[in-house]
Structure 1
Amino acid sequence: MKIQGKMFIWLSVFILAVGIVYGVWAKEAVGTTTLFLAFGLCIMVGYYLAFTARRVDDLAQDDKEADVADEAGELGFFAPHSWQPLSLALGGALAFLAIAIGWWLMYFSAPFILVGIFGWVFEFYRGENQNQ
């Protein structure tokens, strides 16, 4: 985790330098603002990773002598098959289509989005995936 923090901090320094050069050279507000916002995002992620790396044990990626198999093991819990992302995708597609066609289409997309969100949040409270 330490190396990722350093990478993001160095990336933020690079983006800041590019943003300053771009702002002076191009005198274009949108691109300059975008680069400064990207700098802010990179510095936040880099600071978080560096701050967290001090509080956790060293991982295999922080050891230069480590093997790939040193981090092997269980990766975590992943939800089983779910239909909720399909409902969210359909609702999101209709919502974005509403911007192009007409806002009236948002009335049809909202139920799909709400069903998808509530279904995904409460997926493990009912049915075959219910925790005992």
Structure 2
Amino acid sequence: MRIQGKMFLGLAVFILAVAFVYGFWSKEPAGTTALFLAFALTLMIGFYLAYTARRADAGAQDREDADVADDAGELGFFSPHSWQPLALGVGGALGFLGIVFGWWLLFFSLPVILVGVYGWAFEYYRGEDRTQ
């Protein structure tokens, strides 16, 4: 994780330099502001990765003699049968259509989004009395 932190911090310095050069040459406030915001976001990610790397064990990517297979293993649990992303996608699409065609459409998209978020958050919750 140290390498990723250094990469993001280096990218943040580069974006900062580009923001100053762009702001000086173009005198355009929107692009300059966007570049400074990109600098801030990249700096936050780099700081988080560098801070976390001090507290975590060194991974295979931090060693010079590591092979690609050294970092292999289980990445986590991913639900193979969840319908909730579809509900969120449909609700999000209705919401964006509401911006285009009329704000009244948001009243139909909000319940679909809420059902999708609720279902995704609690799809494996069975209660304290049940097992599984």
Query: What TM bracket, shorter-length normalisation?
Result: over 0.9
1:24-103 aligned at under 5 Å gives the runs: 24-103=24-103
Over the aligned positions, Cα root-mean-square deviation in angstroms equals: 1.2
Pairwise CA distance, 1:131: 5.6
* Counterpart Cα distance in 2 of 1:17 and 1:45: 18
Cα displacement string for residues 40-93 of structure 1 (whole angstroms, at most 9, x for unaligned residues): 001111011001101111110011110111111111111231111101100000
* Counterpart Cα distance in 2 of 1:78 and 1:41: 28
Q: TM-score, length-normalised on structure 1? A: 0.94
Long gaps (5+) in structure 1: none
Question: What does residue 10 of structure 1 align with?
Answer: 10
Pairwise CA distance, 1:108: 1.1
Question: What does residue 114 of structure 1 align with?
Answer: 114
Query: Which residue type is aligned with residue 18 of structure 1?
Result: V
Long gaps (5+) in structure 2: none
Query: Displaced runs of 4+ in structure 1, greater than 3 A?
Result: none
**Secondary structure at the counterpart of residue 19 of structure 2:** helix
With over 3 angstroms needed to count, the CA separation of the structure-2 counterparts of 1:40 and 1:131, relative to structure 1, is farther
User: Does residue 124 of the first structure (1) align with residue 113 of the second (2)?
Assistant: no
* Counterpart Cα distance in 2 of 1:66 and 1:32: 41
CA contact (8 A) 1:5 1:49 kept: yes
Identity across matched positions, percent: 67
Q: How many residues align?
A: 129
Query: Which residue type is aligned with residue 83 of structure 1?
Result: W
Q: TM-score, length-normalised on structure 2? A: 0.94
